[in-house]
């Protein structure tokens, strides 16, 4: 639910921008001033042999290109329409089964859900992303996947760059060099190690998120459907004959359960929109949105159960 206090609402809306800017912009500036490969690459664009200059130009260009894409993805997602269903222009028209949303009174298509943060129904609702301050739905899920993958890449890249710069620890067996290094640059070494700790934790979380959403894209499911399982009206009939867990717990145990169902029992949770990996990925990335999901839906019971 949105806060009624306007100051609180504004802070809630804008703090993720600050975190994103500090994490990526601040992190890049820090990597530059802490004398890492990024520093030598930036400086090498104008100095050194022609071959070294070319390599530095390629490295720097790739870095700025990917960073620009990351910032564009963030802003585009921050302001995006995930697939809101209302009667207003530019929104997703109602289609398929005409049931009315008890909150916003619109007639949402199959697979949509009311998002309480924005107070509107969203087509193929996945989850509300606090970092982007937007729901993830049919219209922005593929972009969100790309953003998470790129952000995970930058977190890994930051970890590698800073770890590589902590020469005091490499090689670990050269104690004389380590002691000398700590004595000469103690502040820099501590900062680099803190940065390694931060970026490696972020990389771990983000790569898990990227893998999770890749799984969802391959199996044509959403986070909401996977977590709520039998509680989702159009999945209830499918879960009636399913001997696995009826709902997936939110925490790590849920992921373990899911992997066990897949790898050990080869019995994944019901996914009535699954059309095979290739078709699912084609639909996820390339098909025009919003998709009429009632045409893809495979009924497992009676229509009245919807």
Residues near Zn ion (CB under 5 A) are 101, 103-104, 114, 121
Q: Is 222 or 261 the residue whose CB approaches Zn ion more closely?
A: 222
Q: Count Cβ neighbours within 10 Å for each residue of 35-73 and write b for 16 or more, e otherwise.
A: ebbbeebeebbeeeeeeeeeebeebbeebeeeeeebeeb
Q: Per residue in 104-143, is it b (16+ CB within 10 Å) or e — as a string?
A: bebbbbbbbbbbeebebbbbbbbbbbebbbbbbbbbbbbb
For Zn ion, the closer CB: 2 or 275: 2
Q: Which is nearer to Zn ion, 106 or 161 (CB)?
A: 106
The CB-of-122 to Zn ion minimum distance in angstroms stands at 8
For Zn ion, which is the closer residue by CB, 121 or 123?
Answer: 121
Q: Which of 70, 201, 77 is nearest to 130 (CA)?
A: 77
Residue 40 C-beta: closest distance to Zn ion, Å: 54
Phi/psi at 5 (nearest 5 deg)?
-75, 120
Q: Which residue is nearest to Zn ion (CB)?
A: 101
At closest approach, how far in Å is the CB of 143 from Zn ion?
23
Residue 112 CB, nearest approach to Zn ion (Å): 8
- Residue 135 beta carbon to Zn ion: minimum distance, rounded to whole angstroms: 11
Which single residue is written with the structure tokens 């509300």? Answer: 128
In this structure, what token pair is assigned to residue 209? 């998120």
Cα gap 109→106, rounded to integer Å: 10
Residue 101 vs 209, nearer CB to Zn ion: 101
At closest approach, how far in Å is the CB of 104 from Zn ion?
3
Picking from 121, 126, 111, 115, the residue whose alpha carbon sits closest to that of residue 213 is 126
Closest CB to Zn ion among 104 and 146?
104
């Amino acid at each position: 639910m949105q806060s009624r206090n306007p100051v609180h609402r504004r802070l809630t809306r804008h703090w993720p921008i600050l975190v994103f800017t500090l994490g990526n912009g601040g992190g890049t500036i820090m990597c530059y001033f802490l004398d890492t490969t990024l520093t030598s690459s930036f400086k090498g664009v104008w100095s050194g042999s022609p071959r070294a200059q070319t390599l530095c130009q390629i490295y720097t260009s790739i870095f700025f290109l990917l960073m620009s894409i990351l910032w564009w993805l963030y802003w585009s997602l921050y302001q995006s329409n995930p697939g809101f269903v209302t009667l207003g222009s530019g929104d997703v028209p109602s289609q398929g089964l005409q049931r009315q949303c008890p909150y916003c009174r619109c007639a949402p298509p199959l697979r949509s859900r009311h998002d309480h943060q924005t107070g509107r129904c969203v087509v193929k609702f996945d989850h509300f992303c606090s970092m982007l301050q937007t729901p993830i739905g049919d219209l922005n899920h593929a972009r969100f996947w790309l953003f998470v993958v790129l952000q995970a890449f930058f977190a890994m890249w930051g970890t590698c760059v800073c770890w590589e710069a902590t020469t005091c620890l490499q090689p670990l067996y050269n104690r004389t060099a380590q002691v000398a290094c700590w004595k000469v640059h103690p502040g820099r070494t501590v900062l680099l190690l803190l940065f390694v700790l931060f970026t490696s934790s972020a990389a771990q979380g983000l790569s898990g998120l990227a893998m999770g959403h890749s799984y969802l894209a391959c199996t044509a499911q959403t986070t909401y459907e996977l977590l709520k399982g039998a509680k989702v009206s159009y999945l209830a009939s499918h879960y009636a004959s399913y001997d696995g867990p009826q709902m997936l717990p939110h925490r790590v145990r849920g992921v373990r359960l899911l992997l066990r169902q897949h790898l050990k029992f080869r019995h994944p949770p019901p996914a009535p929109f699954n059309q095979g990996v290739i078709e699912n990925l084609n639909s996820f990335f390339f098909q025009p949105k919003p998709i009429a999901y009632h045409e893809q839906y495979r009924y497992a019971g009676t229509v009245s159960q919807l």
